[in-house]
Chains A and B, each alone.
Chain A
Amino acid sequence: MRIMLKYDPGTATVLAAHDVSFAYGTEVVLEHVNLAVRAGEFAALAGPNGAGKSTLLRILLGLLAPRSGSVEVFGVGPHELRDRWRVGYVPQRPRIAPDLPATVEEVVATGRLAKRGWWRRRRADDRDAVEHALHSVALTDHRRKRLSELSGGQQQRALIARALAADPELLVLDEPIAGVDVDSQRLFRDSLVHLVQQHQAAVLLVSHELGAVADDLDRVIVLKHRVVFDGPPAELAATGVSLGVHRDDLPLWLEELS
């Protein structure tokens, strides 16, 4: 057994699932899932449609309780975590209210609520962080536009900026690449790589579209109700699935894994 003597950003586990199982009624969705994401790691959770990715994500974030097993975020249960800003979450874009009369800047500013306390007024450091986050996804010029006026890719970038505004140590993204233009994909990739390399943050990307980040991932976890693969992309390639080559029909190839 390894004993952790001090916080080491290279190896500290920031997110872990221990033997997590879940079922909707009698339909088993997750079976004995174990996984761990470490600080400074760029990981992807992939799998065919209906493999339980979204359910696992909700359990990891504390939005859903597992039937059995447990989840740890920075070493504690998701509900016991006091510094909620340490976890940044980018939801699927279609979940966002499409007609909300709010500017890009206002949306990004909601990302600061966890850091300063949701009941507090905005301060100068909040404004700086929002500014910085907008800049990092190249949306400074669009800050006063309504979110609904942006293209799909720009909206996705705004949601990433919202998560980045709190300087999270763990960023979890749900299907962030679907329907995103090439420019946005590049900016998106750059901001994630920057977060991992410069800030030693951990990133967990939940998607069945990994082509845009294929070369940057440290790890791929393939889920089909249970973990069927967990390792670097190169090892996945040895099983016959290449994130780069099979970028367009990755879910079908992942279906073949067992």
Chain B
Amino acid sequence: MGGLPGMPWALPWPFDRTYMQLALLAAVVVGAAAPLIGVFLVQKGMSLMGDGIGHVAVAGIGASLLLNTSPTWTALVVAVAAALVIEFLRARGNATGDLALALVFYGGIAAGVVLAGRSTTNTNLQPYLFGSILTATAADVWTVLALGAVIVVAVAITGRALLAVLLDEDSARVAGIPARALNVMLAVLTAVTVVMAMRIVGVLLIAALMVLPVATSRLVARSFRTTLLGAVGVGVASSVLGLFAARQWALAAGGTIVLVAAALFALASIVAGARRAGAQADSILAGPH
């Protein structure tokens, strides 16, 4: 397994080995980039978008076995198509965000099951679902880095306009913001991210890191900017701590990262709850104004 130039770098345990350093790079980039998309999905009530797209993409991989096409490209086409259908249903108002997700996902997964049943080859789909971050190659890490760069640039350019769309789509459109095009861009970006990353880190990790750090950050942050930056911080911290724990106690790396992200959410809930209770106590002690 090849590394990046100079690997293994002189990092302390548990990141002393090349495979751990590659895993660290991949996890940190996913941990930083996934919440940047997730913050918009969560606010739109589409927290399960990443997970659902992932399952549809797995169905696409099943189809590629039958059709004898490239798994990644087939999954990408299927996932982007599913994302566009979801966005279309949502924008037309035919279905709420979560109902649109459910419609497409169950249809997609069912098609995948039927297609895989027709296939003669028996490929293990499990790595796509749960990931195998510890076997990431240098090429995988370059893919993840490129994807992360695309997400950062896209959010840097469209983030303010997307905030206006989240606030109120009609007034954004009156202001000349291409709300529909931005929603479509977000849907496509989600699909591309999930497909490219799931091959390397698994659906579970990419989908969870789109949502959990955002949920954590929203509890404590006030502004949209700090929500975004906080979510990135939580995502990166979950990746580093998760990999550390995985090596320390020989746990499944992807799952451990997600568990750390969930634990950080629980911690933030307690802090936010205590802060609210404190504020209430203050106002009661201060008496009526």
Is the CB–CB distance between A101 and B222 below 8 Å? yes
Asked if A96 lies at the interface with its beta carbon under 8 angstroms from chain B, I say yes
Stretch in A25-33, A83-91, A201-209, A220-228 with 4+ CB within 8 Å of B: A83-91
By the criterion CB–CB under 8 Å, are B176 and A84 in contact? Answer: yes
For A252, the chain B residues whose CB sits under 8 A away are: none
A102 touches B170 (CB 8 A): no
Which of B158, B161, B167 sits near A102, CB closer than 8 Å?
B167
With a cutoff of 8 Å between Cβ atoms, the chain A residues found around residue B118 in the complex are: none
Task: Decide if B43 touches A63 in the complex (CB within 8 Å).
Answer: no
Q: A110 to nearest B CB, angstroms?
A: 4
For B39, give the chain A residue with the smallest CB separation.
Answer: A101
B252 within 8 Å of A by Cβ?
no
Are A118 and B174 in contact (CB-based, < 8 A)? no
Chain A nearest CB, measured from B186 CB (Å): 14
Interface pair B223/A106, CB less than 8 Å apart: yes
B177 touches A113 (CB 8 A): yes
Known contacts A107-B167, A113-B164; is-contact A101 B174 (Cβ 8 Å): no
Indicate if the CB atoms of A96 and B167 lie closer than 8 Å: yes
Pairwise interchain contact A106-B225, C-beta atoms closer than 8 A: yes
A100 and B174 in contact, given A107-B167, A110-B167, A119-B157 (Cβ under 8 angstroms): no
B224 touches A63 (CB 8 A): no
Query: Closest CB of chain A to B14's CB: distance in Å?
Result: 34
Question: Once the chains are docked, how many angstroms separate the CA of A146 from the CA of B276?
Answer: 14
Smallest beta-carbon distance B167→chain A, Å: 6
Q: Are A101 and B167 in contact (CB under 8 A)?
A: no
Asked whether, in the complex, the Cβ of A145 is within 8 Å of the Cβ of B175, the reply is no
With a cutoff of 8 Å between Cβ atoms, the chain A residues found around residue B174 in the complex are 61-63, 84, 87, 89
Interface: A234 (CB within 8 A) = no
Q: What 0/1 readout, one digit per residue, does chain B (170-213) give for beta carbons within 8 Å of chain A?
A: 11111111100000000000000000000000000000000000
- Is B227's beta carbon under 8 Å from chain A? yes
Say yes or no for A95: interface residue by CB 8 A criterion.
yes
Q: Are B171 and A91 touching (Cβ within 8 A)?
A: yes
B146 at the interface (CB under 8 A from A): no
A101 closest partner in B (C-beta): B227
* B163 contacts chain A at the CB level, 8 A cutoff: yes
Report the minimum CB–CB distance from A74 to chain B (whole Å).
13
- B161: chain A residues at CB < 8 Å are 113, 118-119
- Pairwise interchain contact A144-B223, C-beta atoms closer than 8 A: yes
Q: Which residues of A contact B157 (CB under 8 A)?
A: 119
A90 and B175 alpha carbons, distance in the complex (Å): 11
**Distance to closest chain A CB from B184 (angstroms):** 15
With a cutoff of 8 Å between Cβ atoms, the chain A residues found around residue B172 in the complex are: 110
Q: Indicate if the CB atoms of B160 and A100 lie closer than 8 Å.
A: no
* Cβ–Cβ contact B166 & A144, under 8 A: no
Q: For the complex, give the distance between the alpha carbons of A58 and B170 in Å.
A: 9
A-B contacts, 27 of them at CB < 8 A, read A61-B170, A62-B173, A63-B173, A84-B174, A84-B175, A89-B174, A90-B171, A91-B170, A96-B168, A97-B168, A100-B43, A101-B222, A101-B223, A102-B167, A102-B224, A103-B223, A107-B167, A110-B160, A110-B164, A111-B175, A113-B161, A113-B164, A114-B175, A114-B176, A118-B158, A122-B160, A146-B223
What is the interface of chain A, defined by CB distance below 8 A to chain B?
A: 58, 61-63, 84-85, 87, 89-91, 95-97, 99-103, 105-107, 109-111, 113-114, 118-119, 122, 144-146, 166
- Across the A-B interface, the 10 shortest Cβ-Cβ residue pairs: A84-B176, A114-B175, A110-B164, A118-B161, A102-B224, A89-B174, A103-B223, A101-B227, A118-B177, A91-B171
Q: Which residues of B contact A (CB under 8 A)?
A: 43, 157-158, 160-161, 163-164, 166-168, 170-178, 218, 221-225, 227
Beyond A100-B43, A101-B224, 14 extra complex contacts between A and B, CB < 8 Å: A63-B170, A95-B170, A96-B168, A97-B168, A99-B43, A101-B223, A101-B227, A102-B224, A106-B163, A106-B224, A109-B160, A118-B161, A118-B164, A166-B175
